[in-house]
Structure 1
Amino acid sequence: MSKYKILIADDHAMVRDGVKNLVSKNAELQVVGEAENGKQAIELFDTLQPDLMILDISMPDMNGMEVSKEILAKNPGANIVVLSMYEDGDYISRCIEYGVKGYVIKNESGSELDYAINSVLQGKNYFSRHVQDVIFRKYTESVSKKKPKDDLVKLTQREIEIVKLIADGLTSQQMADKLFISPRTVETHRANLMKKLSVKNAVELIKKAQQLELI
């Protein structure tokens, strides 16, 4: 039975030795090459066509993200697992965007890398629990930043009363009589509401107020 070919790319010899030691414990895996910089990693990948590459991000010549981007652009089905000290959400997101199938932080246990290798070779993605937490935090922050400004609209109690009366079809005079204020004050409130909710007419005003659950 042929073994899965593993290529290791890391500029630290001690890290490569540690990964080789881990890989050697699995009888189905075989390290076929080692790269100590980005350009060498691409050259060895093209030459050896490994079943999986374990790739560091911080390397000379080309960093791991550049390496993964170039390799996956030419080989969309390539199996790349990033093993890096970087746990920044932007680094992880870019790697995922390029098509990296696994990501493990270097200070995590060896079993995490083992799980990643086996999962990816089985056609799955594997991101360690810590990496998943980083991805989730980045996602929630992104959603929060993209929230429409409308969600932050705050209406006064009087403005809410005006909106409800507009929805009931009352005229400015009828609203003025009901609220014991002048028609001019009603019109001022209406204008402020249009501005706050970024709408142009009563129909849009009612619709937006309903969307924001103001009425």
Structure 2
Amino acid sequence: MINIILADDHKLVQNGIKLLLQEDPSLHVVAEASSGTEVLQLLETHTETDVVLTDIMMPGMDGLTLQNEMAVKFPSVKVIFLSMYNEIKQISTAMKNGASGYLLKDADHQELLFCINFAVNGGVYVSSRITTNLLSVLDAYTHPQEINIIAEQLTEREMQVLQLIAEGLTNMEIADKLFLSKRTIEGHRQELLKKTGAKNTVMLIRAAVVQRLV
């Protein structure tokens, strides 16, 4: 069971996200908050929390300030941002400070679930909707080393999946396009990260673009 605190100052948005999360029996929303201050208070009592899924712009203490406070007081809890802002300054700051994920609010249900599970297992996930002109900056923060993708080590199917990831498709969209299951695509994504040594999707796509594989 993955225990989640959900933070968003818009109640309708918060309720919608909660309903999506409740569709997965492995996820449990233990509490809800409308500011960073409330999240910190909830973490004091909900010690079982694994993930804080939070907006950036909230009244009082915002998401980025919350992230900094959590790094000191609750370092084992993962922070995933779910925001409408696709701005380089906010995204790069979040990733530099150790966020486990950054999703845009137009992410689909399947991408949200994948991000949460990936983060809990030690990964770092950035929304496939993040534009490619941010990749070099984000990569510098998430992992400064370059990777070398050896195309010959990838299967034809993995190359197809890599191309579609680079085009910004979600796992579900890739699955539909290739007539495969979402779980199969998730497996291919994990295998791509493993084979290339990339720590996250941003690093993987950037290397693929630089090496002209996509």
Q: Per the shorter chain, which TM-score range?
A: 0.5 to 0.7
> Deviations for 1:8-39, whole angstroms, at most 9, x for unmatched residues?
00001111111111111111111100001121
> Deviations for 1:123-173, whole angstroms, at most 9, x for unmatched residues?
211111123635315469xxxxxxxxxxxxxxxxxxxxxxxxxxxxxxxxx
**1:59 maps to which residue?**
58
2:94 pairs with 1:95: yes
**For 1:1-215, what aligned pairs fall within 5 Å after superposition?**
3-49=1-47, 50-131=49-130, 133=132, 135-136=134-135, 138=137
Q: Aligned partners of 1:33 and 1:25: how far apart in 2?
A: 17
Residue identity opposite 1:12 in structure 2: H
Residue identity opposite 2:46 in structure 1: L
Q: Aligned partners of 2:59 and 2:45: how far apart in 1?
A: 20
Q: Is the 8 A contact 1:76 1:99 kept in 2?
A: no
For the pair shown, the structure with the greater C-alpha radius of gyration is 1
> Shift of residue 55 of structure 1?
0.6
Percent identity over the alignment?
32
Please list every run of 5 or more consecutive structure 2 residues that lacks an aligned counterpart in the other structure.
140-214
- TM-score normalized by the length of structure 2: 0.60
Q: Aligned partners of 2:118 and 2:131: how far apart in 1?
A: 15
Residue identity opposite 2:24 in structure 1: N
- TM-score normalized by the length of structure 1: 0.60
Q: Is the 8 A contact 1:79 1:100 kept in 2?
A: yes
Q: Is the 8 A contact 1:10 1:55 kept in 2?
A: yes
Q: Is the 8 A contact 2:7 2:32 kept in 1?
A: yes
Q: Aligned partners of 2:40 and 2:74: how far apart in 1?
A: 11
Higher RCO (CA-CA < 8 Å; seq separation 6+)? 2
Q: Secondary structure at the match of 2:106?
A: coil
**1:194 maps to which residue?**
none
> Shift of residue 74 of structure 1?
2.4
Q: Secondary structure at the match of 2:85?
A: coil
Q: Is the 8 A contact 1:51 1:121 kept in 2?
A: yes
> Deviations for 1:74-113, whole angstroms, at most 9, x for unmatched residues?
2333211100011111101111122110000012222221
Please list every run of 5 or more consecutive structure 1 residues that lacks an aligned counterpart in the other structure.
141-215
Q: Is the 8 A contact 1:103 1:131 kept in 2?
A: no
Q: Is the 8 A contact 1:88 1:134 kept in 2?
A: no
Q: Is the 8 A contact 1:87 1:134 kept in 2?
A: no
Q: Is the 8 A contact 1:69 1:98 kept in 2?
A: yes
Residue identity opposite 1:31 in structure 2: V
After superposition, the Cα gap between the structure-2 partners of 1:16 and 1:134, relative to the gap in structure 1 and judged at 3 Å, is farther
User: For this pair of structures, how many residues does the alignment match?
Assistant: 140
What is the Cα-based RMSD across aligned positions, in Å? 2.2
Q: Aligned partners of 2:95 and 2:36: how far apart in 1?
A: 18
